[in-house]
């Protein structure tokens, strides 16, 4: 592949200013936010997948794995994070391939820990997460300006709300760091395979890990929830026939993990669909009739997509904002809420209460920034480190999380191998 820098001269003709050859296989500009090894599990030929683009209402029957679901220097131009993720992807590929072939989870705790890491990283490394980070910090800056520089804030808003937008250079990096640090936080969650025996394949998306809390949804709670709260569930499809689930077994009993019902798979696919950002991915295989039926199913599925149903997270564990798909009955065929939790009353923290706590945390951050010298603030910006704001409600914190917070330093030393 040739990369060219073109310039229009005075005669309106294109002139090649600079060019260089790029080995497409080793092109570090293309940094996949959904790993290629994962997408190959939804491919008939290891080269392409079916893609449905929401904005264009368009199906791409043979979307190249190499040419989709990447962004230029998404993790950084130095390729340090890209190379580290590529190393991890190799290990995750081996583990997940084994799961697909055997329909069994790994036997060792070390391999299970790596699998938990994969689930968290898959939630953190996406373009959707990066866009959410930019939106959240835009909201933060607006609030800070409104308090600290009201006249300037008013002028900007009068010029148009879209005139002020924060765009971080590498917006997914803070959450990749959080995901790595929080692997020990989810070690108490039970893992299970959801094996698809229906006539319908699982779909996946550009945001493959679903973050859910059936307990909170059943109780109509509008408050957010985080990785440290009771009732948390993570689900990620790893092939058209297998999904991995990580869930709070103190709250749920699993009814069945061998799923024969098309209705159950439809609910899961609708969950994956509504968790997506810009597209869903599906395997496009079979004979002509089977392919036609598959395209018809995808078209019907997408029509059930509503406006992205998300709610803000006010949990202390996940930062300034975390979005999760909401909606009832997605998982009711698979999980049963235990009687103790069915009867439990859970506080539904009001929006005012959340905003009050958030404002306090923002004031602390503003004071910290004001106390810095200009050089210190510049050094912070150049370090790529980001201050993540959290609002803490720990009334539904899992027992393990309380233990983890008490002995965090000691526990973290046991998980150093995930950082290598």
CA atoms within 13 A on the CB side of 178: 28
pLDDT band at 389 (very low <50, low <70, confident <90, very high): low
Average pLDDT, the chain: 83
Lowest mean pLDDT among 17-21, 47-51, 100-104: 17-21
CA 222 – CA 334 distance, rounded (Å): 23
**19 pLDDT higher than 80:** no
3-state secondary structure the chain: CEEEEEEECCCCCEEEEEEEECCHHHCCCEEECCCHHHHHCCCCCCCEEEEEECCCCEEEEEEECCCCCEEECCCCCCCHHHHHHHHHHHHHHHHHHHHHHHCCCCCCHHHHHHHHHHHHHHHHCCHHHHHHHHHHHHHHHHHHHHHHCHHHHHHHHHHCHHHCCCCCCCCCHHHHHHHHHCHHHHCCCEEEEEEECCCCCCCEECCCCEEECHHHHHCCCCCCCCCCECCCEEEEECCCCEEEEEECCCCEEECCCEECCHHHHHHHHHHHHHHCCCEEEECCCCCHHHHHHHHHHHHHHHCCCCCCCEECCCCCCCCCCCCEECCCCCCCCCEEECHHHHHCCCCCCCHHHHHHHHHHHHHHHHHHHHHCCHHHHHHHHHCCCCCCCCCCCCCCECHHHHHHHHCHHHHHHCCHHHHC
Q: Which residue has the tokens 């910090």?
A: 137
pLDDT band at 25 (very low <50, low <70, confident <90, very high): low
Mean pLDDT over residues 379-389, rounded? Answer: 58
pLDDT band at 6 (very low <50, low <70, confident <90, very high): very low
CA 345 – CA 230 distance, rounded (Å): 13
**194 pLDDT higher than 80:** yes
Write the pLDDT tens digit of every residue in 115-140: 999 999 999 999 998 888 888 878 87
pLDDT band at 175 (very low <50, low <70, confident <90, very high): confident
Write the pLDDT tens digit of every residue in 268-313: 999 999 999 999 999 999 999 999 999 999 999 999 987 544 443 3
Write the pLDDT tens digit of every residue in 217-256: 888 876 667 788 899 999 999 999 999 999 999 999 999 9
Per-residue pLDDT at 349: 59
CA 36 – CA 26 distance, rounded (Å): 13
Please indicate whether residue 369 or residue 333 has the higher confidence score (pLDDT). Answer: 333
Per-residue pLDDT at 144: 76
**47 pLDDT higher than 70:** yes
């Amino acid at each position: 592949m040739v990369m060219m820098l073109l310039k229009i001269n005075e005669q309106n003709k294109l002139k090649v200013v600079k060019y260089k050859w790029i080995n497409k296989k080793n092109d570090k500009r293309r940094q996949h936010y959904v790993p290629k090894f994962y997408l190959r599990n939804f491919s008939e030929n290891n080269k392409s997948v079916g893609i449905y683009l929401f904005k264009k209402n368009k199906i791409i029957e043979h979307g190249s794995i190499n040419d989709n679901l990447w962004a230029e220097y998404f993790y950084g131009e130095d390729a340090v994070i890209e190379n580290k993720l590529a190393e991890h992807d190799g290990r995750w590929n081996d583990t997940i391939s084994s799961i697909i072939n055997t329909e069994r989870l790994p036997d060792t705790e070390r391999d299970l820990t790596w699998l938990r890491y994969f689930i968290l990283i898959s939630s953190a490394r996406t373009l959707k997460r990066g866009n959410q980070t930019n939106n959240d910090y835009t909201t933060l800056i607006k609030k800070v300006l409104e308090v600290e520089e009201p006249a300037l804030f008013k002028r900007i808003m009068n010029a148009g709300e879209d005139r002020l937008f924060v765009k971080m250079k590498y917006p997914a990096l803070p959450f990749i760091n959080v995901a790595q640090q929080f692997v020990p936080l989810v070690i108490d969650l039970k893992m299970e395979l959801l094996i698809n025996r229906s006539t319908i394949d699982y779909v996946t998306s550009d945001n493959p890990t679903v973050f859910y809390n059936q307990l909170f949804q059943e109780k109509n709670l509008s408050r957010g929830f985080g990785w440290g709260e009771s009732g948390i569930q993570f689900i990620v499809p790893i092939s058209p026939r297998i999904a991995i689930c990580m869930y709070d077994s103190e709250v749920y009993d699993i009814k069945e993990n061998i799923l024969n019902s098309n209705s159950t798979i439809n609910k899961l696919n609708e969950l994956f669909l509504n968790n997506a950002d810009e597209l869903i991915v599906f395997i496009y295989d079979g004979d002509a009739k089977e392919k036609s039926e598959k395209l018809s199913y995808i078209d019907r599925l997408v029509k059930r997509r509503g406006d992205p149903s998300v709610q803000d997270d006010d949990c202390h564990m996940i930062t300034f904002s975390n979005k999760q798909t909401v909606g009832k009955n997605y998982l009711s065929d698979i999980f049963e809420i235990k009687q103790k939790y069915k009867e439990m009353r859970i506080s539904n923290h009001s929006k005012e209460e959340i905003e009050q706590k958030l404002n306090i945390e923002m004031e602390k951050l503003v004071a910290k920034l004001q106390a810095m010298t200009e050089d210190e603030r510049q050094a912070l910006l150049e370090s790529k480190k980001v201050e993540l704001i959290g609002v803490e409600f720990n009334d539904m914190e899992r027992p393990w999380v309380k233990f983890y917070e008490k002995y965090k330093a000691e526990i973290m030393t046991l998980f150093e191998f995930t950082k290598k």
